[in-house]
């Protein structure tokens, strides 16, 4: 079975075409729309999740360097916060979800915080 590769923007366009947010569709309903368009189960799951929970923050309006992320996360006291709180903080500052997720992961890895629960 061949699966198509889509960008998150394409997933969002497909789901917007079906008025998914306006109709209040669930994640599984959004996944079924994406599967119907040719995405495999895992692609559909990830695409629907990002669409529903990070909709406006799919693409970034900012770019950052390692130094910038470190300054922002240090000022946010990220070493004592949950990773998702750090990601949301970066999103509020204009960084995209995947960009923020990668920045937080790399920050936590550099600071020896991976695997620690707070």
CA distance linking residue 48 with residue 54, whole number of Å: 10
* pLDDT (0 to 100) of residue 28: 94
Q: In angstroms, rounded to a whole number, what is the distance separating the alpha carbons of residues 31 and 40?
A: 9
On whether the pTM is more than 0.75, the answer is: no
Neighbours of 67 (CB within 10 A): 8
Low-confidence ranges of the chain (pLDDT < 70): 1-4, 55-62, 116-118
Judge whether 34 and 47 are in contact, CB under 8 Å: yes
């Amino acid at each position: 079975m061949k699966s198509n590769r889509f960008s998150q923007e394409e997933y969002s366009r497909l789901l917007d075409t079906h008025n998914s947010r306006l109709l209040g569709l669930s994640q599984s309903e959004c996944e079924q729309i994406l599967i119907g368009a040719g995405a495999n189960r895992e692609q559909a799951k990830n695409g629907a999740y990002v669409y529903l929970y990070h909709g406006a923050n799919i693409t970034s309006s900012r770019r950052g360097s390692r130094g910038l992320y470190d300054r922002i996360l240090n000022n946010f006291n990220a070493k004592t916060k949950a990773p998702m709180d750090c990601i949301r903080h970066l999103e509020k500052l204009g960084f995209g979800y995947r960009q923020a997720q990668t920045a937080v992961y790399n920050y936590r890895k550099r600071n020896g915080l991976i695997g620690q629960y707070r």
